[in-house]
Structure 1
């Protein structure tokens, strides 16, 4: 690829050596400390050793459940610790999401979490994009899915009682939930990221996904 490494608009490899790693707290999330050194950007000379702390989250599936007949997206409201600590609004709005369980693929998680948190089954679903939410501190890999749903039987309440989940699904017209993002009435990062993507590509992607659904129905 031509051009200096500074001008290449892509993530690039870097030589990193992890010297040691210790989990200092194991709980709902594991908190660890690593000692490492890495090559200096563009030079190769090492920087370090240095210590860096990180929280291990894992792989996550986030679902954008879209009902094309109603031109609406299903969002959920639930308690979030960060929202309660940093704002007056502990009952935050977000997209359905969940951790990938051991032995499960992200695709399977997306379908499962959609049902657990909204009561809906995906008529069609596909992975759209991935991101690292906060790679300076979190070991978390987020995968975003678009799901076609029929929200006529949207659950009033959802969630797993043994996990202390208290979830209220909401059918939000696309233009209304986008306005909530633009006006700063919702702050969840996954929600804002997913809806910015949907505003640019969502309806066209949903139309194509619906086409595959109809093709599958015709083939049965």
Structure 2
């Protein structure tokens, strides 16, 4: 059977067409309902699930005319969410019934969390979901669905960061649609990070188009970095954890003293992420945040954009069990008097660039914060 009933995000035409790689006008699409079922939001996620529920009806689309390739692409995309097809009978608008298959979640995998609204999802999540799906589908035929499922969270984090990047303007009059020519674009690798490659030309300072260059970028989400500071005690808090990249470059000291830091989750503001990370990593409740600027951490190699903050609050205790076990974090903290902290900065005892940036910002604003 090649007829499917969609009750969730794939009712959104742009997403379904992206997954299929062709327009819906080439298929037969009808409004339909699945009786004795209801569609609920998934707790903590931006997609829905369907559950048996006597007397309810799940609204959706019956789509007919899929090719074997269509079904492979759909199974690849939905497989990333751990959904499998189940045969059902759906009711059409004229009261007739039709056989169709429906993507059902693995039992017990997700927790329902209130009725789900397609329009509510479109307003809040469609744009980031489309960007994430573009990355996922770029690996169709090259990477299995299990790998995509394992990296679903970082893919969405990168999509959320891309949306934020599109709004990042400072007044440069140049236009990338006219001043940058992409000869080829390849998504080369997907994991916690992504890697994308370009053959690209860009307009040079003399007004001419430059030669074609091969460039690559480590694709990351956006991050927050927060230096907790107690203006009453005039002290800062630092966290220490093992950093694999520092180890990989043969640095003999891969345990790094840093500010609190973490990725911005889809749907979060940088400020929300800053407060959350302070709690998760250092078990510190911050009172307020002082924005200390934002910048790309290494624009020649990485897409990571960092929002810098000094977080004000009372610092009274240190811990040696910070971080989330689910993320493999093993974090301890220390509180340093401001003078001791700055002496260590001047003695080059820290190797974390955001920490040095925030130390210099704090030095310029400390009197105001203490006042």
TM-score range, shorter chain: 0.7 to 0.9
Alignment partner for residue 19 of structure 1, among 172, 183, 186? 183
Corresponding residue of 1:54: 217
Corresponding residue of 2:198: 34
Cα distance, 1:86–1:196 mapped onto 2, change above 3 Å: farther
Work out the CA distance in 1 between the residues paired with 2:343 and 2:246. Answer: 20
Corresponding residue of 2:322: 158
Corresponding residue of 1:81: 244
Are residues 1:64 and 2:203 paired?
Answer: no
For structure 2, list consecutive stretches of 5 or more residues without a partner in the other structure: 1-169
Cα distance, 1:117–1:175 mapped onto 2, change above 3 Å: same
SS for the counterpart of 1:138 is coil
User: Does the 8 A contact of 1:181 with 1:187 survive in 2?
Assistant: no
User: Does the 8 A contact of 2:241 with 2:257 survive in 1?
Assistant: yes
Work out the CA distance in 2 between the residues paired with 1:136 and 1:205. Answer: 35
Cα distance, 1:68–1:31 mapped onto 2, change above 3 Å: same
Deviation at residue 32 of structure 1 after TM alignment: 1.2
SS for the counterpart of 1:130 is strand
Are residues 1:132 and 2:296 paired?
Answer: yes
Deviation at residue 205 of structure 1 after TM alignment: 4.5
SS for the counterpart of 2:330 is coil
Cα distance, 1:13–1:189 mapped onto 2, change above 3 Å: farther
Work out the CA distance in 2 between the residues paired with 1:106 and 1:58. Answer: 12
For structure 1, list consecutive stretches of 5 or more residues without a partner in the other structure: 1-9, 209-220
* Larger of the two Rg values belongs to structure: 2
Alignment partner for residue 175 of structure 1, among 339, 342, 345? 339
Are residues 1:120 and 2:290 paired?
Answer: no
Cα distance, 1:136–1:157 mapped onto 2, change above 3 Å: same
Cα distance, 1:120–1:81 mapped onto 2, change above 3 Å: same
Deviation at residue 63 of structure 1 after TM alignment: 0.4
Deviation at residue 58 of structure 1 after TM alignment: 2.0
SS for the counterpart of 1:78 is strand
Are residues 1:94 and 2:255 paired?
Answer: no
Cα distance, 1:58–1:205 mapped onto 2, change above 3 Å: farther
Q: Which has the higher contact order (CA 8 A, sep 6+)?
A: 1
User: In the comparison of the two structures, how many residue pairs are matched?
Assistant: 197
Work out the CA distance in 1 between the residues paired with 2:321 and 2:234. Answer: 22
Work out the CA distance in 1 between the residues paired with 2:230 and 2:299. Answer: 33
Q: CA RMSD in A?
A: 1.8
Are residues 1:45 and 2:236 paired?
Answer: no
Cα distance, 1:118–1:191 mapped onto 2, change above 3 Å: same
SS for the counterpart of 2:211 is strand
Deviation at residue 17 of structure 1 after TM alignment: 2.9
User: Does the 8 A contact of 1:146 with 1:206 survive in 2?
Assistant: no
TM-score, normalised with respect to structure 2: 0.50
